[in-house]
A and B are shown apart, each in its own frame.
Chain A
Amino acid sequence: MRRTTYREITGQYVGFYGLMAGLGVLILLSLAAAWHMEHQGHHVTGMTNQIVWGMPHVLAIFLIVAASGALNVASIGTVFGRTWYKPLGRLSGLLALALLVGGLAVLVLDLGRADRILVAMTTYNFKSIFAWNIYLYTGFMAVVVVYLWVQMERRMNRFAPAAGLVAMIWRLVLTTGTGSIFGFLVARQAYDAAVLAPLFIAMSLSLGLASFNLTLAATCRGTGLELGDGLVSRLGRLLGVLAAVVLYFTAVQHLTNLYAAEHAGVERFILLEGGVFTALFWLGQVLLGGLVPIALVFTLPAGRALGRVVLASILVFLGGIAQIYVIVIGGQAYPLVLFPGKEVQSSFFDGVVMSYAPSLPEITLGVGGFAMAAAIVMVGLRSLRFLPESLADAALDPHHRAAATDAEEKAPA
């Protein structure tokens, strides 16, 4: 097997530090927003006793879900031995780590008592899926670090497939865990569905790959690294397949819910009468985040794939945010059913569809998570050898024309 040489990024001080400074500002702003929320109390946010999880949770869940999916590229390379993806393994691991750190930071900073994070890490309720997730997330970080190390340390290379396998299994469990956070909420009509776990796994693969594609494209553009069209097309088509899988599980989720009569109300709400949620679902998630990018990547013009794949990745990315918004916020906006068949009214908004308007601090806090992830990737790229010398098609696979079979694209989900 040919050996890929890796490098760190060098030079381009203005661009690099300019971008870093911009991200730094975003991160500082998000810390200020968190401090504001903490100091004033959460009444300065759009969150209420009815919509208890808001924009920070939407964006944090996106980041965490995408983190586990971002590792997909590395898995395809090491576990499934696809030569095309192998040189990308390190970047994939780095991105996974960065996204997870960003997402967890947002989650923690939104806590009512973020100052008690030590309590959260020392007092556990082992029945809580949430507490399990704390282990899953920290464990994931450790696993990815080891995985990166065995990839980067030549003497350890032979352990790469084993580490990759552990990482892959771990991230499947992690995403199942994240999906189960909602799946365990038996009383909420919108969440009471077993399909949420596989749906979250599918989402993680597709959102993670979209994030990876965008990171890769931006890195190559910034560093002048050559990016082969064959590789881009592969990544694009893989994204298309994964986006289709997400659509499939979304359909299963809603169809099974429709089948259960007691959930018909919430389904009608999301699919027909939910106003902003309905719009986000059909236009944001299904059309722009699903059908359009799928169409884009399966009609790639030969030799000029990059632009379209980037556009498709952006759409999948935004569609993913819309989807999580619909799941998290929409599921809470729809009232709990306490007295089936009765009309209810109270001072506590029983039976009322709640509206939610994210406030500036919440959004700033969430965006800070993305900035943090981006900054971690940039620092990583600058200080360690994450990037291959070349990503030109010929450097990846001399027989790349012959090797471009369909089987290659079908990544294991």
Chain B
Amino acid sequence: MTGRTPQQGFDPQRRRFLSAAAAAAGVTLAPGVTLYGVTAAGSAAARAPEDPVTSSVRWGLLVDVNKCRDGCNACVTACVEENGLRGNGRPETDAQWIRKVELRDPSTGAKRSLPLMCQHCASPPCVDVCPTGASFRRADGIVLVDKHICIGCRYCMLACPYKARSFIHEVVEDQKPYAPRGKGTVESCTFCVHRVDEGRTPACVEACAEAGGDAMTFGDLNDPNSRISKQVAAYVTDQIRPDLGLDPGVRYRNL
């Protein structure tokens, strides 16, 4: 251990996410020993770096479509920056973990604009079809690709109903240390798992709040006291393609 203290952001947005009083993320007990991610009062206990994730937490994201502005791209930009997704100017093969989708109802002309990313399904088809088990769902509900064992067959891309995945078509250089990615494997939104494990929120959520949209709420769906759980309980929210029965962790309000 080098004794560094990991940088812990104490931005107001996160404060809010951390809901109630006892929330204190990144308590530094001693040099090199850090308590990460106290998620919410009274529920999931602080997870130390050596503790594995458990299914007592289910990470989820709620998007309030009314607050998402047409033409705003803050979440997408933040994702690209955070995860080092520099493209090669080839939109058909460049990776996109999150995208803005513009909807129009042809009968009424009503327009909607919303971010779409991996929905972190509870029963993810990508995981079911993956021949090697590279696609997997972490105990806390985050769906990831283990690029060490992904063979690049792209079957998961065919299986994902949300077109959430990208294949890396070209050599990647200068990756972010916390977001490894390389040619020949498949990837998708990780909910910024490296940040979540530190008790922070995904980059898109933070960027949305900073841009004044505040359209995204990230948190633990299993914790009745989390902001997201309260909202999901209080308002009508939608999943995309609920008919498929995949129980996505991403929900939309005012869709």
Contacts and interface: CB of A to CB of B under 8 A. Distances in A.
Interface of A: 38, 40-43, 48-50, 52-53, 111-114, 116-117, 119-120, 123-125, 127-131, 134, 181, 184-188, 332, 336, 338-339, 341-350
A53 B158 CA distance: 8
Interface string B72-105: 0000000000000000101111111001111111
Contacts of B155: 128, 130, 181
B157 interface: yes
B161 A342 contact: no
Nearest to B133: A125
A128 B244 CA distance: 18
A128 B170 contact: no
Contact of B163 (A125, A342, A348): A348
B167 A49 contact: yes
A48 B92 contact: yes
A181 B133 CA distance: 16
B93 A49 contact: yes
A129 B131 CA distance: 7
Interface of B: 88, 90-96, 99-107, 112, 116, 125, 127-134, 149-155, 157-163, 165-171, 183-186, 240-241, 244
A349 B240 CA distance: 17
Q: Chain B at the A interface: mostly helix, strand, loop or mixed?
A: loop
B80 to A, nearest CB: 11
Contact of A349 (B92, B132, B149, B151): B92
Contact of A188 (B158, B184, B241): B158
A322 B154 CA distance: 22
Nearest to B164: A348
Contacts of B128: 127-128, 184
Contacts of A184: 128-129, 159
Contacts of B186: 112
Contact of A112 (B92, B104, B154, B162): B154
28 contacts: A42-B167, A43-B93, A49-B92, A49-B94, A49-B169, A52-B158, A112-B168, A113-B184, A113-B185, A114-B152, A116-B152, A119-B149, A120-B153, A123-B132, A124-B133, A125-B127, A130-B129, A186-B125, A186-B244, A336-B162, A338-B161, A339-B101, A343-B105, A345-B104, A347-B100, A348-B163, A349-B92, A350-B99
